[in-house]
Amino acid sequence: MITLTEAAVYDALRTVHEPELGGDLVSRNMVKELSIDGSRVAFTIELTTPACPLKDQIEENVRQVLRPLGAETIEISWGAMVRRASPAQPQQLVPGVKNLIAVASGKGGVGKSTVSVNLAVALAQAGASVGLLDADITGPNIPLMMGVEGQPVASPSGKILPLERYGVKVISIQFFVPEGQPVVWRGPLVGGAIQQFLRDVEWGELDYLVIDLPPGTSDAQLTLAQSVPISGTVLVTTPQEVSLLDVTKALAMLERMNVPVIGVVENMSGFVCAHCGEVTEIFGRGGGERFAREHRIEYLGGIPLDVTVRQGGDAGVPVVAQREPGPAAQALKMLAGTVAARMSVRAMSDQQPVLSIS
């Protein structure tokens, strides 16, 4: 009978690699609180994001290498320590936020706010601490889509306390203007509002702050890029050529401002008939994937047309939070996992592996 030892377990776990980051679990110092009791092995694996899309794969690989050692009971707990993908600055506007994820598009109507809302909620569902900033000052839709109402109040320190729904802290100009009143502001006022939402809101400690940008290339994007170190940007497009033309301009603007781009997601990529299963490509096919290939950025996947997305957006229930999630919800949850994984890779790229002594 094989006697389990810490050394044997650590040696076995050194053969299990983290699929996204590279390196093994031990050298990455991801194995915590190891205990052995006869044929029972228990430990915690500390991930770099609670939204890790490859957790099941890691667990299966761990069990495969420990069973031959005689481990009959393998108890794995999961932890997460989200790293900062952008270096902290001495006078950073949001020092408690580890990762700022902007969601941008070249034109309106492509589902950018839908992606922002569901990305934020999916990350929170995975266990991350998340905020959502509605930076579309003249066309704020986030409160309706999140189903959050009310007016923020001041914290003891004098900052604005964001409202909260689905585990996400939310701030929007809509909370401060009367119902139905338009926000007719020039560029400097728009930029000032975004800076105030970054500087004067009590965001606290967040793993991710998702920022829903207005469409196009305007003062809002410039203000954001000049005010805070954006960790990464998700570009949203539809398959049709007019959307691809405009998202090309958005990408060029981001590259000119040295803002990192995570990749592009294709929204409304096809309609699946609920009765017969036939896919109708209402807006064309493959435009987002072709765009990613031509511009050498990552294609983050396609989100199909789904009536539950519209219903949820109107009712304030994001599709990923609905009781019976459809294909769009599944695609958006996969998107959240991919975005979180890419943030982890960026955060770890400049760090040397930490060797664990066993």
* pLDDT tens-digit series, residues 140-176: 999 999 999 999 999 888 999 999 999 999 999 999 9
pTM: predicted TM-score of the whole model, two decimal places: 0.89
Number of neighbours of residue 107 by Cβ within 10 angstroms: 19
The single residue listed with the structure tokens 């004098």 is 158
Of 1 and 150, which is predicted with more confidence?
150
* pLDDT tens-digit series, residues 216-244: 877 778 888 888 889 999 999 999 899 99
Structure tokens at 233: 């940007």
Name the E strands within the chain.
31-37, 40-47, 73-80, 97-105, 130-134, 163-165, 168-171, 206-212, 232-237, 261-272, 279-280, 299-305
* pLDDT tens-digit series, residues 316-332: 999 999 988 788 999 99
Task: Give CA–CA dist 325/38, Å, rounded.
Answer: 43
Domains in the chain, CATH or no CATH each: 6-80 (3.30.300.130), 97-347 (3.40.50.300)
* pLDDT tens-digit series, residues 86-125: 665 545 778 899 999 999 998 888 999 999 999 999 999 9
The per-residue pLDDT of the chain, averaged, comes to 88
**Tell me, what's the pLDDT at 77?**
94
Q: How confident is the model at residue 353 (pLDDT cuts 50, 70, 90)?
A: very low
The single residue listed with the structure tokens 């706010």 is 113
355 pLDDT higher than 50: no
